[in-house]
A and B are shown apart, each in its own frame.
Chain A
Amino acid sequence: MHIPDGFLDAKTAVASGALAATGVGAAVWQAKRTLPARRVPLLGVTAAFIFAAQMLNFPVAGGTSGHLVGGVLAAVLVGPSAALIVLTAVLVVQCFLFADGGVTALGANIFNMGLVNVFVGYAIYRGVRRLVAGRRGLVWGAAFASWCATVLAAVCCAGQVAWSGKVAWRLVFPAMAGVHMLIGIGEGAITALVLLAIARARPELIDRPDDAPQPAATIGGGLLVALGLALFVAPFASAWPDGLEKVAAKLGFEQPAALLGAAPFPDYKLPWLGDSGWVTAAVGALGTLAAFAFAWLLARLLVPNRGTGVCGEPRLVGLGSPINPLATDRRGRPSN
């Protein structure tokens, strides 16, 4: 979902950049106030971890493979503000060292895969966990939250590309949302599996005692996400897309010589999508419900008895004192 250079115009890049900068700035400011010095290296190592995890191939079908993005994973493991910093670092390194994601699109990428992914995912995760106790809640919450976060991030991405006038909303939205509804299943499954594995080995890493609810962070992040949605998605998701086109024509957006490129709003419609936005809304609702059900199913499969693990699964060997990992050697045995 990394947007390369050339897909966004100036206003989109600036707007998403501003949102991203505000979010990251706020996260850093909060970290300076509340993050204990002991956890500072953890951010860097977690960033390396997310990066390394993203490189693993999960076989899907016929040679294709899926990859983890890890926004929700990071949020559950280190908290949402820290996760935003972690994801930002990952995206910056990907942009500068791998040319994965454009420089002008860095703001948009951080907004989508950092802000939206982390905060929406975290909010949903906490919501589900409050309702469902134990490991089942963990799996269910993680899977569903990851799916929602992936899809919403993709929708924002589509909105940004459409707002820039490169690809019409009617094309990019179903493409991005549709594809990511499928990708999200993989992301949900992987996130849930990984969190379950960690919970079995070191449950205190998931349910940290110092895990304060951080209401300010969640509200702030949510606000920024809402702003972005209002800018990038709401104009297109209105029930009167035709009206928007007429406005655009009146205001002269269809000049080919404009800085934005060719006509932003085409007359061509995809055949299977009706004129009204209700079909889109229905598909979206159905997809969400399906994902919710899938997440519940996953939870049932992986945690058949409430709170315990799958029978026969051995607990990972104790890795030394949980709060004093200095006592363990590389192989996890208590040393010296």
Chain B
Amino acid sequence: MRHDFLDRYSRLESPVHRWPAGVKLATAFLLVLLLVLTPLATRWFFAMVAAGLCGAALAARIPFSYLGKRLLLVEPFVLGMAVLTLLQPGGRVVFLGIVVKSTLCLLTMVLLASTTPFAELLRVLRRARVPALLVTTLALLYRYLFVLVDETERMNRARHSRTFTGRRWGTWKTLADVIGQLFVRSTERAERIYAAMCARGWK
């Protein structure tokens, strides 16, 4: 997973990017809420929202292919669950409603994430008096996610170059060993991070 997968467009220059993060977050929340609560019959609303989101994407210079790819990652679950609704009478309406609403909500959140650096979201959370422990955990999670992913990839590659059986169970054992090693290293890293924090005055 490349480092810039999440942050590729979050630091561009555009009117949407310049909006304060708190405003963007609140707007996104409100929009999602409205989308979920509005009955499907009010078609003009959904059409308007769709147009608005596309416009925002254009203004923020986010390529549609990128948005499409992000949506594609999450659509399968939506469709999988929604297909069940087709099995009940009157289900077609429900199905359509779910798909439209979900997709538009997804688009909203993907746009939010693509135009707001995560550090800003954290700042908003801190100002909103979210407990410090939670914000710290989120910050460290974001910071060390890619470090750990890199480590995992390296360990995986090393294991693969010494594995010749290709049996599924063997792969599972290998992966489990890699995850286990990753945790052990992570605890050691956490200790070193604690030492670094203390060294700079953290109590």
Contact = CB atoms under 8 A, between A and B. Distances in A.
Interface of A: 2-8, 10, 13, 24-25, 28, 31-32, 35, 37-49, 51-53, 55-56, 58-60, 68, 77, 85-86, 88-90, 92-93, 95-100, 102-104, 161, 166-168, 171-172, 175, 189-190, 193-198, 200-202, 205, 256-257, 259, 261-263, 266-268, 316, 319-320, 325-326, 328, 330, 332
Contact of A99 (B110, B134, B194): B110
Across the A-B interface, give the 3 residue pairs with the lowest CB-CB distance, nearest first: A44-B140, A197-B180, A193-B176
B14 interface: no
Nearest to B10: A97
B142 interface: yes
Nearest to A263: B90
Contacts of B195: 326
Contacts of B178: 56
A259 B190 contact: no
A18 to B, nearest CB: 16
Contact of B85 (A35, A92, A167): A167
A73 B195 CA distance: 26
A193 B78 CA distance: 31
B141 A5 contact: no
Contacts of B138: 44, 47, 89, 92-93
B149 A55 contact: yes
Interface string B100-123: 111001100110110000100100
Contacts of A262: 85, 88, 90-91, 93-94, 97
B64 to A, nearest CB: 16
A7 B81 contact: yes
Contact of A198 (B84, B136, B183, B188): B183
Contacts of A319: 184, 188
Nearest to A101: B74
Interface of B: 1, 6, 28-29, 32-33, 35-37, 39-41, 70-71, 73-74, 77-78, 81, 84-85, 87-91, 93-94, 97-98, 100-102, 105-106, 109-110, 112-113, 118, 121, 131, 133-134, 136-145, 147-149, 152, 156, 168, 171-173, 175-195, 197, 202-203
Contact of B180 (A86, A166, A201, A257): A201
Contacts of B145: 48, 51-52, 93
Contacts of B176: 190, 193-194, 196-197
Contacts of B74: 4, 98-100
A175 B140 CA distance: 37
Nearest to B141: A47
Contact of A47 (B28, B40, B140): B140
28 contacts: A3-B81, A4-B78, A4-B81, A5-B35, A6-B35, A6-B100, A28-B133, A41-B191, A45-B193, A47-B141, A48-B145, A53-B182, A56-B156, A56-B175, A58-B171, A59-B171, A93-B138, A99-B70, A99-B109, A102-B102, A193-B172, A194-B183, A201-B184, A205-B187, A257-B41, A259-B39, A268-B87, A325-B187
A29 to B, nearest CB: 8
Contact of A197 (B36, B177, B192): B177
A326 to B, nearest CB: 6
Contacts of A25: 131
Nearest to B88: A266
Given A4-B102, A6-B36, A267 B189 contact: no
Contacts of A194: 176, 179-180, 183
A13 to B, nearest CB: 8
B33 A104 contact: yes
A49 B134 contact: no
A48 B183 contact: no
A103 B29 contact: yes
A261 B84 contact: no
Contacts of A202: 184, 187
